[in-house]
Amino acid sequence: MKVRGPIFFSVIAGVVALGMYLPSVFPPVDNAEKEAVLMQTMLSGLEQLHFSPVVLDDDFSKRAYDLYVERIDAGRRWLTQEDVDILSKFKLEIDNQAEKGTYEFFDLSEKILNSGIKKAEGFYKDLLAQPFDFSKDELIELKGDKKEYAKDDAQLKDYWRKSLKYDVMGRYFDKIKDQEKLEEGEEKKTEEVLEEEARTAVLEMYEDVFERLSKLRRSDRLSDYLNAITNVYDPHTGYFAPKDKENFDISMSGALEGIGARLQTDGDYTKVTEIVPGGPAWKGKELEANDLITEVTQEDEDPVNVTGFRIDDVVKLIRGKKGTVVKLTVKKVDGALEVISITRDLVVTSESYAKSVILDYPGTAENVGYINLPRFYADFNRKGGRSCSVDVAKEIEKLNEQNVESIILDLRNNGGGSLRDVVRMSGLFIEEGPIVQVKGRERAAEVLEDHDNRVQYDGKLIVMVNQFSASASEILAAALQDYGRAVIVGSKSTFGKGTVQRFIDLDRAIRGYNEVKPLGSIKLTIQKFYRVNGGSTQLKGVESDIVLPDRYHYIEVGEKDHDFPMEWNKIDEVDYSQSVASLDGMESWKEASAKRIQEDKTFQLILENAQRLKDSREDTDYSLNYENYAAEMKALEEEGKKYEDMFPEIEGLEIKNMEVDIEYINEDESRVARNEEWMKSLKKDVYIKEVLSILKDMDDPKYAKE
């Protein structure tokens, strides 16, 4: 059945609205009919509304096939090479089936996958029934895409043997370590008992895994298939079944009641995408963006392996009553596993607001205003709601009253937000002019401008960024860089997300025919951002004027780390200029900073650690001989200690609240505590120390001209 032709989508007054005409007589609906309508409606929306629609051809089919097959068995746990060979016969057919609204390839994949899961269910119980031989010399490869598919069922079972042995060995190692901490006279268990306990724990874990797998519905797997199709368009375009849309909303809001982190599904794992300012995870400083959550442990309970869990199930485990503790076992970017304890609490929303202090670093830079902006917030729901551009303007006004010599605007880890506020905030530092270009598909770029010719701050300005400065943060940094108004300091480049997405309710695409609803939603990319110089912020991000190394210095993170990101491109630039300040001397400032970094012990440790993380990420095979495994783990722990306290307090750096803020802070004990905690973290921030040194260079007459 082909229904794509009669479907039309339109954009009215900037709001995406959908309409769909179907034949007056619709066949009796069963699951196949509903799925056909779903595919046709989704593809029509993508074809007509996506910024850069993809041609449905053999190349598209190959990409969708590769994404889907990799995702359904990223760990090489279910499929053999024979299974993949059968599926590969459809590699060039996905486009044809999608256009017809049929699912032959998906139906076959579901059958083969279910068969593989059934086989594995028999493997694990058998393999965990007897002790493992920890004296045998063998290796396990932990990175799925480095492993070949098992050639047959016998090799697949051996893959499972190694995987289970590794799981048991890890728990056994932890139990041995815990026992070594027992006081003299306390009863110790034999190694045989500890090994059996470890096996039992792994057995129970996989019983839970397979119980959960048994409850998966066809619609769950169908979402995976449809997302393999949508993600060929770009990584931010996706299909959301009705339940998945609810899960998305939970991950964007409800999860904040637990630990204050935004999560998303990443293959078999749940990935931390953002730490929310003011939340428990943010206070703890241990959980980080890009961490993969492998286990969740409640107080006094055994850990629950959440590999393969739906995101809403993970969220339910993480959320809990205020004051209770949840432990997360996470895989870091270097592959190391860490257990992080977080006390659940409500997010303190005030920590997301702009705030400022005065920095004094005698002999380097004094009376410097520092503004921290964790996100670009705006409350559109009520009159007089808070706006980050208004708040930053107020902070600047307070700093101007202190006659600050310079201002540092810190956008590190700022994932973006209100576009309107980006334009207004950029305008605080220039007379007036264009800030960003927003372009829809086949439309002329819309230029968003600052029309206020006032300059609220005309002094030296540095904007701090890192790899997690995204979207709105990148627009502001790009505008001030293009104008030559601010020095951008930080990671080699920002995140590189220069696109805009909108949710489209597919049910609104069908007039009547309630029998096929609900269909769900699609989130699709409809616009791209462009700098005033014409270049996109997509993929490349904003390259820092002065680069400071961090732990990701040698690792690709951000938009470029995704499959099929939209390309960087350029459109016409617009006229822009400012006469507020000059950045003559940039090359000299770069050279001076590079020399300091080379001589700074902390930055050299950061670079060492960055190289260690890169090497560890690439070295993904581990010994299954216990003595070798234990030696490797202890060596990693010992090596890690070198980098635990890399950031000593910066001697001589003074941080002061402004008098106008002190009364407000002292009104509440919790505010006092949070302020003190913030001050302590700033005192150890080596990046701020280097920025203050750059400000000194900017004042030095010998660097005034190139």
Identity of residue 675: N
CA distance 525 to 521: 13
- Candidate list 224, 334, 482, 697, residue with the active-site label: 482
Q: Which DSSP symbol is given to 387?
A: B
Q: Is 528 helix (H, G, I), strand (E, B) or coil?
A: strand
CA distance 489 to 491: 7
- Candidate list 471, 491, 493, 536, residue with the active-site label: 471
Q: Which residues of 597-621 are buried (b: 16+ CB within 10 A; e: fewer)?
A: beebebbebbbebbebbbebbeeee
Region for residue 384 given its phi and psi (left: phi exceeds 0; alpha: psi -120 to 50; beta: otherwise): left
Q: Please, what is the Cα angle at 548 between 481 and 685, to 5 degrees?
A: 105
Q: Is 417 helix (H, G, I), strand (E, B) or coil?
A: strand
Question: Would you call 471 a catalytic residue per the annotation?
Answer: yes
Task: Evaluate whether 371 touches 407 at the Cβ level (below 8 Å).
Answer: yes
Q: Which of 412, 573, 432 is nearest to 488 (CA)?
A: 412
Q: Which of 377, 381, 384 is nearest to 347 (CA)?
A: 377
Question: Exposed, middle or buried: residue 272 (CB in 10 Å: 0-12, 13-18, 19+)?
Answer: buried
DSSP 19-37: EE---SS-PPP-HHHHHHH
- Crossing angle of helices 218-230/104-127, nearest 10°? 120
* Separation of CA 458 from chain center: 35
CA distance 370 to 247: 38
CA distance 672 to 218: 53
- Side-chain half-sphere of 87: how many Cα atoms within 13 Å? 26
Question: Would you call 73 a catalytic residue per the annotation?
Answer: no
- Candidate list 162, 271, 398, 497, residue with the active-site label: 497
Instruction: Tell me how crowded residue 13 is: count the other CB atoms within 10 A of its CB.
Output: 5
* Separation of CA 258 from chain center: 18
Question: Would you call 560 a catalytic residue per the annotation?
Answer: no
- What residues are paired with 501 via a beta bridge? 525
Region for residue 10 given its phi and psi (left: phi exceeds 0; alpha: psi -120 to 50; beta: otherwise): beta
Question: Exposed, middle or buried: residue 349 (CB in 10 Å: 0-12, 13-18, 19+)?
Answer: middle
Q: Phi and psi at residue 501, in whole multiples of 5°?
A: -115, 155
User: Are β-strands 406-410 and 460-465 bridged in parallel, bridged antiparallel, or unpaired?
Assistant: parallel
The residue whose two tokens read 């931010």 is: 236
Identity of residue 395: E
Element (H, E) at 168: helix 153-180
Task: Evaluate whether 173 touches 204 at the Cβ level (below 8 Å).
Answer: no
Region for residue 417 given its phi and psi (left: phi exceeds 0; alpha: psi -120 to 50; beta: otherwise): left
Q: Which DSSP symbol is given to 93?
A: T
Instruction: Tell me how crowded residue 631 is: count the other CB atoms within 10 A of its CB.
Output: 12
Task: Evaluate whether 560 touches 418 at the Cβ level (below 8 Å).
Answer: no
Q: Among positive and negative, which fits the CA dihedral 6, 63, 621, 150?
A: positive
User: Are β-strands 487-490 and 546-547 bridged in parallel, bridged antiparallel, or unpaired?
Assistant: parallel
The residues annotated with a catalytic role in the active site are 471, 482, 497
